[in-house]
Structure 1
Amino acid sequence: MKKTLLTTGLVGILMVGAAAPAIAFEDTASTPLPGTGAKVEANAWQCSTYFDKCSFKTSTKALKGSAKYKVSKITNTATVKANGWQATLSLSPSGTQVSENTRQVSWTNKNTWISDISGIADPGGSLNTSVTTCSDGGAFTAGVKAFASACAND
């Protein structure tokens, strides 16, 4: 009986630890999608504290109220930048190198409501390096389009 209680207690402790909210930097911005009553929303999220690598997520969503709004085409571009003196950046997924300290990753979906990207940024080159993650997105449907941008930084 003691073994069962100890195991149950340990599982309870692990579950509570896993459920704790992560601290992060995030930003959201939106723009109306003309003539539809919907909006295009860009979201950027990144870790707030890191010792080596920093996770990031970006998305572009088409929403009508809080409901998903299907569009013909929806795109998202994540731009991740390492800030600081002689800062460098490597990224997973690798994306396109914009400069020594900036990378971009893009994704496009058709006939849906969301396009999202996630990955790991590995900044280097300076003791005072920080990371900025931006999300640029657009939605296209029935001859109209709209774009939104959001940036999260520490």
Structure 2
Amino acid sequence: MKKPLLTGGLVMILTAGAAAPTMAVSDSGATALPSTGAKVQVNAWHCNVYADKCSFKTSTKTLKGSRKYKVSKITNVATVKANGWQATLSLSPSGTYVSENARQVSWTNKNTWIADISGIADPGGSLNTSITTCSDGGAFKSGVKAFASACAND
């Protein structure tokens, strides 16, 4: 089902696929990784103009200054939600069912600095459906851990 976008009284149909769209919604958050001088940074991103499907990306990174900082374990959990009356959601990768309109996908890496996830969200329901993409991440090294969150909303 195509979703029309109204702009200045004209109906425009725009489609965003896996390629990065020209307009996006994003958010980021960060917290210190105690006793290391590094930080855990999370990012959430998705397209904000779409007619059918919308690409999304999330990541958790550990950085010391602007340099990559290797940790023992790093995790990223992407939660994608379709907002709107009777909204539904299909996701690729399929992820874990949270509700009719939300899915979660997680990824964990060891002995590196990044865990990231990307995919395609296919919201359904009313014409007023929007997407929220959240990224929750954590890192562990030498007995210390830290977590951060970010949510991108249309």
Q: How does 1:39-50 map to 2 (within 5 A)?
A: 39-50=39-50
Q: Unpaired runs of 5+ in structure 2?
A: 1-19
Cα distance in structure 1, aligned partners of 2:120 and 2:152: 15
Instruction: Report the counterpart of residue 10 of structure 1 in structure 2.
Output: none
Instruction: Report the counterpart of residue 133 of structure 1 in structure 2.
Output: 133
**What residue identity is the alignment partner of 1:122?**
D
CA gap 1:145/1:93 in 2 versus in 1, 3 angstroms: same
**Bigger Rg over Cα:** 1
Q: What SS does the corresponding residue of 2:105 show, helix, strand or coil?
A: strand
TM-score where L is the length of structure 2: 0.86
Q: Could you report, residue by residue, the CA deviation over 1:77-118 in whole angstroms, capped at 9, with x for unpaired residues? A: 000000000000000000000000000000000000000000
Output the aligned Cα RMSD. 1.1
**What residue identity is the alignment partner of 2:48?**
S
Aligned-pair CA distance for 1:21 = 7.2
**What residue identity is the alignment partner of 1:87?**
A
Instruction: Report the counterpart of residue 93 of structure 2 in structure 1.
Output: 93
**What residue identity is the alignment partner of 2:129?**
T
Q: How does 1:109-124 map to 2 (within 5 A)?
A: 109-124=109-124
Conserved? CA contact 2:21–2:47, under 8 Å: no
Cα distance in structure 1, aligned partners of 2:134 and 2:25: 11
**What residue identity is the alignment partner of 1:148?**
A
Aligned length: 135
**What residue identity is the alignment partner of 1:81?**
K
Instruction: Report the counterpart of residue 69 of structure 2 in structure 1.
Output: 69
Instruction: Report the counterpart of residue 59 of structure 1 in structure 2.
Output: 59
Q: Could you report, residue by residue, the CA deviation over 1:17-51 in whole angstroms, capped at 9, with x for unpaired residues? A: xxx97210000100000000000000000001000
CA gap 1:149/1:70 in 2 versus in 1, 3 angstroms: same
Cα distance in structure 2, aligned partners of 1:119 and 1:147: 23
TM-score where L is the length of structure 1: 0.86
User: Among the aligned pairs, what percent are the same residue?
Assistant: 82
Q: Unpaired runs of 5+ in structure 1?
A: 1-19
Cα distance in structure 2, aligned partners of 1:23 and 1:74: 29
Cα distance in structure 1, aligned partners of 2:52 and 2:22: 17
Aligned-pair CA distance for 1:153 = 1.3
